[in-house]
Amino acid sequence: MTSPNLALPLLAAAQAQKHVTVNESLSRLDGLVQLSVKDRHLTAPPASPVNGDRYIVATGATGAWAGLDDDVVLFTGGAWVRLPPKNGWLVWVEDESLLLVRSGATWSADVLIKSQNVELARGALGGAISLQVIEETLSGLSGATVNSTVVIPNRSICLGVSSRVVTTITGPANFHCGVSGALGKFGSYMDLNAGSSNIGVIGPQAFYADTPVVLAGNQGNFISGAVSISIYALTFAPPA
């Protein structure tokens, strides 16, 4: 018998040596609470794991991790314990300083999106103006360009888009941040190193369709890296 969400072993009625089951459950909880893994790209266990080490197993796993692709594993009591992930789990990846969420059958940083909407004024008939900050981290950059899944909203006035390199970018000589047809609108020839940032202020511009932000490599395609973006926009509501 196990619990439905975390698969923690449960005590049976009149069970002997109850401490074994209780200790196993506590070990699993110790590995799952405040979940943080050391790496997510290994296909085989490290040679000298330390008690309490946790990893996300990469695709094509071998050895003691065979068959555990994409699972979380915990080293405890001299053995590897499988911790099957559930939809919505959050995990911190230590070697990348990256927060992931379990979405469906995959781990992703792209769905860690937040939008802050502050209403600035509302008229007696219900018309309103709001200021929005819409954010996303684009990770695993690859190819000539990468489009955001968040957008500059239709019928909004965009004030600018800022960016920060979260994980050092490899591939191009530098990169641009903009929209289709104007790849450098919010910043051009920007630094690839983690920690570099740019505040891409523009003259207020109306957008008449949902418009993704585009990151474009210059003098080469993206191979890897992660960039966080923030869209700043004024949005409007008609009278009720």
Average confidence score pLDDT of the chain = 89
> Does residue 91 contact residue 98 with C-beta atoms inside 8 Å?
no
Delimit the CATH 2.60.120 region(s) of the chain: 114-237
∠104-109-114 over CA atoms, to 5°?
A: 100
Say whether pLDDT at 5 is over 90. Answer: no
What pTM was computed for the model? 0.57
Between the alpha carbon of residue 108 and those of residues 31, 99, 101, the distances in Å are: 20, 9, 5
Sheet bearing 54-56, strands edge to edge = 54-56, 72-76, 79-83
Lowest mean per-residue pLDDT among 48-57, 90-99, 101-110: 101-110
Amino acid 92: pLDDT: 92
Say whether pLDDT at 55 is over 70. Answer: yes
Q: Which two tokens stand for residue 9?
A: 């072993």
Say whether pLDDT at 230 is over 90. Answer: yes
Lowest mean per-residue pLDDT among 26-30, 68-72, 74-78: 26-30
Give tens-digit pLDDT for 177-219: 999 999 999 999 999 999 999 999 999 999 999 999 999 999 9
Say whether pLDDT at 115 is over 80. Answer: no
Q: What CATH number belongs to 114-237?
A: 2.60.120
Torsion of CA 216, 220, 225, 229, to 10 degrees: -10
Q: Encode burial over 26-64: b for 16+ CB neighbours within 10 A, e otherwise.
A: ebbeebbeebebebbeeeebeeebeeebbbbbbeebeee
Q: Give the mean model confidence (pLDDT) for residues 163-187.
A: 97
> Does residue 178 contact residue 213 with C-beta atoms inside 8 Å?
yes
DSSP-assigned letters across all residues of 138-176: EES--BSEEEEEEEEPTTEEEEEEEEEEEEEEESSSEEE
Q: Give the SS3 label for residue 45.
A: coil
Say whether pLDDT at 15 is over 80. Answer: no
> Does residue 36 contact residue 55 with C-beta atoms inside 8 Å?
no
Amino acid 142: pLDDT: 95
Residue 16 CA to residue 9 CA, distance in Å, equals 14
